[in-house]
Amino acid sequence: MIRYGILSTASIIGRFIAGIRESQDGEVYAIASRTLDKAKAAAKQFGIEHYYGNYEELYNDENIDIVYIPTVNGFHYRDCKNALLHHKHVIVEKPFTLTSKEALELFELARKQNCFLMEAQKCVFLPTTLKLKELLNQGIIGDLKYIELKAGFPGRFDYSHWMYDLSMGGGSLYGSATYTIELMQFLFDQPYFEIDGSCLKCPTGSDEICNFQLKINQRILVSSTIAMNVALKNEAVFYGEKGYIVIPNYWKSSQLDIYFHNGQTEHFDFPYQSEFVYEINHIHNCLKQDLITSPIMTPAKTIEACHLVVTLYQQWKGNHNG
Ligand SMILES: NC(=O)c1ccc[n+]([C@@H]2O[C@H](COP(=O)([O-])OP(=O)(O)OC[C@H]3O[C@@H](n4cnc5c(N)ncnc54)[C@H](OP(=O)(O)O)[C@@H]3O)[C@@H](O)[C@H]2O)c1
């Protein structure tokens, strides 16, 4: 069994824990929080035997093989570094780090420590995504010309939440841009793209809604909108010469539809219990092969994704409306 330490009581952990348990060869061994009360309550809620009132004790637990880091975005670098220094394998939630320099440094440290390190990007492991890639490679909708992705999450946080604090890795771009970027990297087998975009900021100074464009091989234009202030039709649409493919909730999708210009349609369903189980199975396969990086969610993709996000934030710096 691969034994996990869960770092923090973040709201996402329930879904990740469900994925570990569904994987069959993963065990949720311990959880840590900044306070013992929260750790104890989460341990009870999720049926975890061991719990700690600080992160250090979890890093020091020799029974833990891999640490899952879903802390505040601005602390991913610090927490990942600490876990690696304690010779743990690490899986870090997206966005991996706030700068590409930090990402590069962490992958170098992981190599020195001979530890596995991967960004948790569930989207590229979903059966829907694999089917999409297969269909695009078959040219089912002809030459692909344009891709549009929309994700809106209104009303989740108030302005005092860290998701509205840019220095903590809040903001719409830090929040969800890597879903788009890493999905495109995966579909087109390349980490590097041209990027441009703009945003509207809220009173806290973070981007509340943003739109960015990627250009793929001077052939395909991608437009991605992420909003924290308005509900959008959460979907990705891939437009080709012969029709288009629609993927609802593309970051956790369980279905896709093809609409051909001749009127025909085709529907595919990929039901799951936990959308995290696919990335978790991949992590386990990597660990069983003694790999220290993923051949799919590669360091190059993660580092470049961080670089693209920072490129836009630098453009938007000091500019009230990005
Ligand atoms: N892959 C996905 O589908 C997915 C979905 C949602 C979120 N995420 C990612 O998961 C991470 C967590 O997101 P979330 O929405 O679950 O976050 P959250 O509920 O706000 O939890 C973040 C956790 O970080 C810890 N923390 C450490 N220092 C903190 C500080 N100074 N202020 C506040 N919290 C602090 C807290 O845990 P303790 O108090 O217990 O130490 C807190 O529970 C983010 O990186 C996010 O991008 C991924």
Q: What pLDDT, in 10s, does the model give residues 7-65?
A: 999 999 999 999 999 998 999 999 999 999 999 999 999 999 999 999 999 999 999 99
For residue 31, report the distance from its CA to the centre of ligand 1, in Å. 14
**Going by CA atoms, what residue is nearest to atom 18 of ligand 1?**
10
pLDDT, mean over the chain: 96
pLDDT of residue 106 exceeding 60, the answer is: yes
In a domain, 36, yes or no: yes
| Site to substitute for ligand 1 among 44, 71, 182, most atoms within 8 A of C-beta | 71
- Pick the closest to residue 64 from 84, 47, 41, 43 (CA basis): 84
pLDDT of residue 152 exceeding 50, the answer is: yes
**Residue 126, pLDDT score:** 98
pLDDT of residue 322 exceeding 70, the answer is: no
The answer on 150 and 70 residing in a single domain is no
In a domain, 298, yes or no: no
pLDDT, one tens digit per residue, over 217-276 is 999 999 999 999 999 999 999 999 999 999 999 999 999 999 999 999 999 999 999 999
Assess whether the C-beta atom of 8 lies below 6 angstroms from ligand 1: yes
In a domain, 116, yes or no: yes
Q: How many domains does the chain have?
A: 2
Cβ pair 182, 124 in contact under 8 A? yes
Kind of pairing, strands 235-240 and 243-248?
antiparallel
In a domain, 277, yes or no: no
- The helix-helix angle for 172-187 and 127-138 (nearest 10°) equals 50
Residue 59 three-state SS: helix
The answer on 262 and 146 residing in a single domain is yes
Of the pLDDT bands very low, low, confident and very high (cuts 50, 70, 90), residue 321 is very low
CATH number for position 256? 3.30.360.10
**Residue 189, pLDDT score:** 94
What's the CA gap between 248 and 252, in Å, rounded? 8
The answer on 58 and 73 residing in a single domain is yes
The amino acid that residue 163 corresponds to is M
Phi-psi region of 263 (alpha: psi -120 to 50; beta: other; left: phi over 0): left
* Cross-strand partners of 131: none
CA angle 292, 183, 14 (to 5 degrees): 70
Separation of CA 245 from chain center: 22
Assess whether the C-beta atom of 274 lies below 6 angstroms from ligand 1: no
Query: Which residue, 121, 141, 156, sits at the end of a domain?
Result: 121
The answer on 106 and 135 residing in a single domain is no
CATH number for position 47? 3.40.50.720
| % the chain with pLDDT above 90 | 96
Assess whether the C-beta atom of 10 lies below 6 angstroms from ligand 1: yes
**Residue 318, pLDDT score:** 65
The answer on 85 and 114 residing in a single domain is yes
**Residue 320, pLDDT score:** 44
What's the per-residue H, E or C state across 197-214?
EEEEECCCCCEEEEEEEE
The answer on 199 and 102 residing in a single domain is no
The answer on 66 and 19 residing in a single domain is yes
pLDDT, one tens digit per residue, over 75-85 is 999 999 999 99
For residue 263, report the distance from its CA to the centre of ligand 1, in Å. 45
What's the CA gap between 100 and 106, in Å, rounded? 10
Q: Which domain holds residue 29?
A: 2-121
pLDDT of residue 180 exceeding 50, the answer is: yes
In a domain, 243, yes or no: yes
In a domain, 305, yes or no: no
What's the CA gap between 130 and 257, in Å, rounded? 14
Please give the average per-residue pLDDT across 170-186, as a whole number: 98
**Could you tell me the two tokens for 16?**
């990740």
For residue 11, report the distance from its CA to the centre of ligand 1, in Å. 6
- Pick the closest to residue 158 from 170, 145, 176 (CA basis): 170
In a domain, 57, yes or no: yes
What's the CA gap between 43 and 8, in Å, rounded? 11
Cβ pair 198, 125 in contact under 8 A? no
Cβ pair 110, 90 in contact under 8 A? yes
pLDDT of residue 143 exceeding 70, the answer is: yes
Helix extents (H) in the chain: 13-22, 36-46, 55-60, 76-85, 100-113, 127-138, 172-187, 277-288, 299-316
The answer on 261 and 174 residing in a single domain is yes
For residue 147, report the distance from its CA to the centre of ligand 1, in Å. 30
Assess whether the C-beta atom of 38 lies below 6 angstroms from ligand 1: yes
The answer on 75 and 10 residing in a single domain is yes
Of the pLDDT bands very low, low, confident and very high (cuts 50, 70, 90), residue 191 is confident
In a domain, 312, yes or no: no
